[in-house]
Chains A and B, each alone.
Chain A
Amino acid sequence: MSHTTRTGEIHVPILARVEGEGALDIRIAAGRIEALKLRIFEPPRLFEKLLEGRSTQDVIDSVARICGICPVAYQMSAVAAIESILGVTPSPWVEAMRRVMYCGEWLQSHSLHIHLLAAPDFLGYDSAPAMAKDHPDEVRRGLRLQGLGNEIIRTFGGRSVHPVGLCPGGFFHAPDAATMQRLREQLAKGLEEARELIAWTAGLPIPEDDQDFVSVSLRHPRDYPITAGRIVSDQGLDIDPADFEQRFREFQVPHSTALHAQLDGHPYLVGPLARLNNNLDRLPADLRQLLDDCGVAFPSRNMFHSIVARAVEIHVALAEALRLTEDYEPAAEPRVEVPTRAGVGFGCTEAPRGILWHRYALDDEARVVEAQIVPPTSQNQARMEEDLVTSLTRFGLERDDDALRLHGEMVIRNYDPCISCATHFLDFHVVRK
């Protein structure tokens, strides 16, 4: 078998350092990739069905359980949809504190991904504890930032995984001023560490791999998008979340329990890189400067720059949490009364991994008649497959199975795929004949 006409199959049975279970199958024939399948075999848990008949509070408490890493995102998209149906506008205090809580999740999820899941790839380790032996300060800084994110969530929700604080109309409980003061002191220290983190990620040995893709994210008139905005792309898309289904289509492929999605019939990217590419002008001036100085040019077409984008968003999250709690006082009444009524509503927020779209139909007792949830990882699946074909071909299909497997896993990990979310990934197969 000559290098240019290599034929065979590669199979990666369980993907390490991704959330959930999946596998990768590649068939190479005559030196090119004939078929590539990212198989997600995480069993579906059928949330959209089990929500039927449930109250709005049950929805908020249930959808968190779709994903242990981004429960806040699920709760926030759900509560936005529910409040739009019930005709409730939360107070400015609630709006601001929800954004702070969401920042906690970005901080926790991004930091976990950078340090425990992605960075070991770039530095050649198979796990964070292994990496910690040679890079103890960096790993510990990462764990501290992750812990800080968890602390923010805990402040508003009692615990960081499946927090219990959110309700239609606001929060059950307002943290007291002393608690917030203590949190703010830690956040200020974290901000300094976030600056160092950006420089560190920008200095990692990141492969060159520019590709064509469409970046899709929210866009807000004033802020870096987190809890609200219109859905936009860098190709001119600009729609209200209510019109999502007119342009985006979800469909099933036989090799995955997660539905795929396309925008106008084509794959697209959601997540930190897409968000940053589309919202550079929404960064605070000092962060923009920091980014210009770090040596990575954004908008970027290199998917591997996702790790830098995550570090930038860690900075955004910390700075936003500090800004929004500057003159913090607990609200006397952290929630408004909500009526019960029927209707259809949409919620779309920026989960750490990208836009998370929910649609609910409620009956006149505000119980769920129908629910539909489109998580970021489903949306990225088609893009991941497209990326894998390009990246592995560029990497060199003549390389041995282990090298291809490692590179494939590294490409996939960039997307921080959350397979638990997507099923509501990775076993690796290459077939070379």
Chain B
Amino acid sequence: MTTGTRRARIAVHKFSSCDGCQLAFLNLGEPLLTLAETVDILHFAEAGPIDEEAEVDIAFVEGSVATSQDAARLRGIRERSRYLVTIGACATAGGIQALRNLHDADEWVSGVYAQPEHIDLLADSTPIAETVKVDLELWGCPVSGEQVLGATKAMLAGHLPRVDHSAVCMECKRQQAVCVMVSQGRPCMGPVTSTGCGAICPRWQRDCYACYGPAVQANVSALATHLADTGMPADEVARRLLFINGHAEPFRAEGLDWQARVITRQGSEEEQG
């Protein structure tokens, strides 16, 4: 991508987020200084440079679309960027804040603010790709340094990287981690969650909670049924699915389905009572 005449230009933009994905850059250590020497970082508010209007080769976008201003700002970024890359669950799937999409957002705002009229917040928190075309999605809450650095290097070499979306289970097998579902009966989301984290949770003797989003060909309904068969109440099954990547399909549809079962059951109990 570096033409003979100039260095590649990079921007890091923020929307509604925790800033944790930008830290994938700021926590790089030495490679951050090397990167700053090889490319021009034109906009990265948290690190210093501010030029939101800059034309760039790669725009990394953290955060979800959440206010009335966001869509217009995002379209501008898209127009001025050759590659647009989403970093993290917020940008790629709406983030944990997309849980409000399933509720009455106005009611939530007035639950926190005495004067909700001063708060500019859309009813839904949505992924970047619902507003503009995205060239590459990096999943994870948060994304890691290896993910952002690997993607940057590939794009600087002129191609988009291929991202492995096989299940966390495959990674556990590669790392010879003991299966927490089999050995401890934990409700692990590993079978339906995309790899990329290095199977951190199973290696830490706990269940995966799907922070890297859905795996390819994830059989979410089979896993949900299995969890219910082992005694998990329907509302808990729904909460497992509707969490950090709850706005991403097929987690969303399956989660809503299990939520509906709770409501139906409560309804029928009332009829009996």
Q: What residues of chain A have their CB less than 8 Å away from a CB belonging to chain B? A: 14-21, 41-46, 48-50, 53-55, 58, 61-62, 65-69, 71, 108, 112, 116-117, 120, 126-130, 132, 139-140, 143-144, 146-147, 150, 157-162, 164-165, 167, 172-173, 251-252, 254, 257, 259, 418, 420
CB-CB nearest in chain B for A255: B118
Q: Mark the stretch among B151-159, B198-206, B219-227 that contacts chain A.
A: B198-206
What residues on A are CB-neighbors of B29 within 8 Å? 143-144, 146-147
The complex places the Cα of A105 from the Cα of B170 at a distance, in Å, of: 31
Q: What residues of chain B have their CB less than 8 Å away from a CB belonging to chain A? A: 14, 16-24, 26-27, 29-30, 32-33, 36-37, 41, 45-50, 52, 66-67, 95-97, 99-100, 103, 105, 108-109, 111-115, 118-121, 125, 141-142, 144, 197, 200-201, 203-206, 209, 211, 235-236, 239, 243-244
What residues on A are CB-neighbors of B99 within 8 Å? 50
What residues on A are CB-neighbors of B50 within 8 Å? 14, 16
What residues on A are CB-neighbors of B209 within 8 Å? 61
The complex places the Cα of A315 from the Cα of B118 at a distance, in Å, of: 43
What residues on B are CB-neighbors of A15 within 8 Å? 45
Which of A16, A65, A128, A157 is the one whose CB lies under 8 Å from B244? A65
Which of A43, A44, A65, A132 is the one whose CB lies under 8 Å from B112? A44
Q: Is the interface of B mostly helix, strand, loop or mixed?
A: loop
A140-B100 in contact (CB<8A) = no
* A-B contacts at CB below 8 angstroms, number: 175
Given A44-B121, A146-B27, A161-B23: A49 in contact with B96 (beta carbons within 8 A): no
CB-CB nearest in chain B for A165: B204
Given A43-B66, A50-B97, A65-B141: A164 in contact with B204 (beta carbons within 8 A): yes
What residues on A are CB-neighbors of B211 within 8 Å? 162
Given A49-B111, A420-B18: A14 in contact with B52 (beta carbons within 8 A): yes
What residues on B are CB-neighbors of A69 within 8 Å? 19-20, 23
What residues on B are CB-neighbors of A420 within 8 Å? 17-19
CB-CB nearest in chain B for A257: B119
Chain A's nearest CB lies how many Å from the CB of B232? 11
Chain B's nearest CB lies how many Å from the CB of A416? 12
The complex places the Cα of A117 from the Cα of B45 at a distance, in Å, of: 10
Q: Given contacts A117-B46, A159-B142, A161-B23, could you give 4 more A-B pairs where the C-beta distance is less than 8 Å? A: A19-B19, A68-B22, A116-B48, A129-B37
What residues on B are CB-neighbors of A49 within 8 Å? 100, 103, 108, 111-112
Shortest 10 CB-CB distances between A and B: which pairs? A68-B20, A127-B48, A129-B36, A158-B200, A45-B97, A49-B108, A43-B66, A172-B206, A68-B19, A173-B204
B109-A44 in contact (CB<8A) = yes
What residues on A are CB-neighbors of B52 within 8 Å? 14
A129-B142 in contact (CB<8A) = no
Which of A66, A117, A129 is the one whose CB lies under 8 Å from B33? A129
B30-A140 in contact (CB<8A) = yes
CB-CB nearest in chain A for B105: A46
